[in-house]
Amino acid sequence: MLLLALLPSLCFWSAALLLHLLGANAGYSGKVPVSAMVRTQLCIDALQALSALPRFFAEPHDRHLALRPLSLLLGVAAVDLVEYGCHRLMHANKTLRKLHKRHHRLIPLHTLGAYYNSAGEALFTGSFLGVVLVGALQSGGDRPGD
């Protein structure tokens, strides 16, 4: 269970570090210190692990390790769609753009900065993601082998 809760974070860190080793951050000289990105990411990691807890209690324990490729694909697509939609909204709306300002201080880009956001932005996007999570749980989840 613990490993599953940490899986999104492990994927993020692996991809970010691989890109880093390939030179994606070479010569980074932005205003945002890498330590601030790492701190933000560790907060996100903790929140992601905590957000896995409802599934732990809602699902039968023998299904925790069930591999459900279609569910995984749909989940990634749903999270991506929500995050993309929220990002677009924050660019289109002046009030919301203020929440999003911190994210765009990160120029040039850095592979550890994908989630370098304000707490307001995390709350905004997180609440939409929460709606998706609750919807998925209420639909009764899914069956192994989907």
Check binding of 93 to ligand NAG (CB under 6 A): yes
Q: Binders of ligand NAG: how many residues, by CB under 6 A?
A: 3
Check binding of 96 to ligand NAG (CB under 6 A): yes
Can you read off the two tokens belonging to residue 112?
A: 């550890």
Write down the least CB distance from residue 46 to ligand NAG, Å. 27
Write down the least CB distance from residue 116 to ligand NAG, Å. 22
d(C-alpha 99, C-alpha 80), whole Å: 19
Check binding of 127 to ligand NAG (CB under 6 A): no
- Beta carbon nearer to ligand NAG, 5 or 96: 96
Write down the least CB distance from residue 88 to ligand NAG, Å. 12
3 state SS for the chain: CHHHHHHHHHHHHHHHHHHHHCCCCCCCCCCCCHHHHHHHHHHHHHHHHHHCHHHHHHCCHHHCCCCCHHHHHHHHHHHHHHHHHHHHHHHHCHHHHHHHCCHHHCCCCCCCCCCCCCHHHHHHHHHHHHHHHHHHHHCCCCCCCC
**Choices 31-39, 41-49, 90-98, 111-119 (CB under 6 A): range interacting with ligand NAG:** 90-98
**Choices 15-23, 29-37, 93-101, 103-111 (CB under 6 A): range interacting with ligand NAG:** 93-101
Applying CB under 6 A, the residues found at the interface with ligand NAG are 93, 95-96
